[in-house]
């Protein structure tokens, strides 16, 4: 693999500080699993599944092959019988976030005992280099001593946030001006994240009403127009950096520069599946079979609201997966980076408008039919970066996507890896580190299956190349 000199993509000061980090943080945290095992190289990449909707016709739906009898399935059948077929977006939202049956409401999906593993869990280098990306863009933007925010969407176990704060605190000019803002809907995951960040005293009281609280990184005065503080949990991390939790990115106070990181966040947002039928885009819905025993896909007979939201550039496509919620999040990101500065880094598996049906489920690192055992598995779809780009125009400028491997190498991955290899205390540690890094950068694994996409305000285009090798 060709390695491009990182000095092209990092400012001189940040590049020098990278070596300081390499010397200072010699300990390496490698996932305790055997990362070379076949079960861990399945990273929710797109595969052919039995519920592929490409061939669905208006007269017949595609049924899930295995009978289901769960309580959640009974609830879904009753809902569909009462209101009619539901959108795939509604189905995903129920499966993932239903307070009683939802996947994220009932279990921890991460790690070997979960259903998938994410890049931050594999090796600390990932989080360190994402933090360095923020530092370098902070330096290029000449933000200075002004308070700024790090925002993470969907922080998972808190590992990425932990690694980022550890690096940010090593920069004296940054450590006292930054605050961390986490968007997390699961109260259980929020507790895990607080524990990971070393927060001993957690405030879980909703603060409402003018004058009852302010958030670091916000402008003076009330946090929002009504004077409400909308975080539901807060505390001080072991690094001395304040941390706040929110249900939505829209609840995070504006007025300060923000660097936003979304690692495997957009793939979990509900999608509307659309398919060209008789020369017109029609929506794919989830219905029940005539005997009321299984779920199936059907085609809506008429145009739905989701069809009217498709960007003009994509209205001739034969099949696409559109996330309306992604558009809402992107609109907020665009407002922040355009009006207040900063940038966003979106890291996910996906494509640039080249794939069709990617909707699937994951359980124990295996791909399943998404209509089988709802609520028991993670349901997901590849991120369509071409749609993200179209939804961002003309409010913000986007770069990429580039592969995760390209991004990490351009962020001086090789130098950091070599420093950690020298710090390993045994051949076994070196082998484990090498195996972990192979998962991150191998084009046949996460290195080629995941992509990196950057978002900035239009002013950023006048400041030179974007960190990480984006064109």
Cα 133–chain centre separation: 16
- Domains defined for the chain, CATH in brackets: 1-143+257-471 (3.40.50.12710), 145-256 (no CATH)
**Is residue 76 left, alpha or beta, with left meaning phi > 0 and alpha meaning psi from -120 to 50?**
alpha
Task: For 18-48, write each residue's pLDDT tens digit.
Answer: 545 444 444 555 443 333 322 222 333 333 2
pTM across the whole model: 0.83
Task: For 367-414, write each residue's pLDDT tens digit.
Answer: 999 998 898 888 999 999 999 999 999 999 999 999 999 999 999 999
Task: For 145-174, write each residue's pLDDT tens digit.
Answer: 899 999 999 999 999 999 999 999 999 888
DSSP label at 111? S
- Helices 324-339, 385-392: inter-axial angle, 10-degree rounding: 50
Task: Indicate the helix (H) or strand (E) that contains 128.
Answer: helix 124-140
The Cα–Cα gap between 453 and 390 comes to 13
**Does position 330 have pLDDT exceeding 70, yes or no?**
yes
Contacts of 336 (CB under 8 A, 6+ apart): 254, 258, 260, 342
Contacts of 64 (CB under 8 A, 6+ apart): 50, 51, 294, 295, 296, 369, 371, 372
């Amino acid at each position: 693999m060709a390695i491009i000199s990182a000095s092209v993509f990092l400012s001189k000061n940040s590049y020098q500080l990278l070596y300081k980090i390499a010397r200072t943080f010699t300990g390496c945290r490698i996932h305790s699993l055997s990362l070379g095992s076949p079960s861990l190289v399945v990273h929710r990449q797109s595969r052919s599944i039995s519920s592929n909707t490409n061939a669905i016709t208006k007269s017949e739906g595609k049924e899930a092959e295995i009978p289901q009898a769960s309580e959640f399935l009974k609830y879904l059948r009753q809902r569909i019988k009462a209101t009619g077929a539901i959108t795939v977006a509604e189905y995903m939202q129920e499966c993932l976030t239903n307070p009683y049956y939802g996947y994220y409401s009932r279990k921890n999906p991460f790690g070997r005992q979960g259903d998938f593993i994410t890049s931050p869990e594999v090796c600390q280098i990932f989080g360190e280099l994402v933090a360095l990306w923020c530092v370098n863009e902070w330096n290029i933007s000449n933000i200075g001593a002004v308070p700024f925010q790090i925002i993470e969407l969907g922080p998972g176990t808190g590992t990425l946030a932990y690694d980022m704060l550890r690096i940010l605190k090593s920069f004296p000019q940054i450590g006292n001006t930054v605050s961390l803002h986490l968007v997390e809907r699961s109260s259980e995951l929020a507790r895990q994240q607080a524990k990971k960040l070393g927060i001993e005293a957690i405030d879980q009281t909703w603060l409402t009403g003018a004058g009852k609280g302010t958030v670091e990184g916000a402008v003076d005065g009330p946090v929002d127009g009504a004077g409400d503080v909308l975080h539901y949990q807060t505390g001080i991390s072991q690094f001395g950096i304040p941390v706040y939790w929110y249900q939505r990115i829209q609840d995070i106070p504006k007025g300060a520069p923000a660097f936003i990181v979304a690692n495997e966040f957009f793939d979990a947002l509900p999608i509307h599946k659309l398919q060209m039928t008789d020369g017109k885009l029609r929506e794919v819905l989830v219905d029940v079979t005539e005997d009321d025993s299984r779920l199936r896909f059907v085609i809506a007979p008429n145009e739905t609201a989701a069809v009217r939201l498709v960007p003009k550039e994509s209205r001739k496509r034969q099949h696409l997966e559109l996330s309306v919620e992604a558009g809402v999040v992107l609109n907020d990101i665009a407002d922040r980076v355009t009006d207040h500065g900063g940038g966003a880094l979106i890291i996910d598996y996906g494509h640039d408008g080249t794939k069709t049906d990617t909707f699937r489920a994951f359980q124990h690192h295996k791909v399943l039919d998404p209509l089988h055992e709802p609520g028991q598995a993670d349901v997901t779809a590849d991120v369509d970066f071409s749609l993200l780009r179209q939804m961002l125009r003309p409010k913000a400028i986007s770069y990429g996507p580039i592969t995760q491997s390209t991004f990490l190498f351009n962020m001086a991955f090789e130098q950091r890896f070599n420093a950690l290899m020298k710090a390993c205390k045994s051949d076994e540690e070196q082998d484990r580190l090498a195996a972990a890094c192979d998962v991150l950068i191998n084009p046949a694994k996460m290195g080629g299956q995941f992509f990196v996409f950057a978002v900035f305000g239009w002013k950023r285009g006048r400041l030179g190349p974007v960190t990480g090798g984006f064109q």
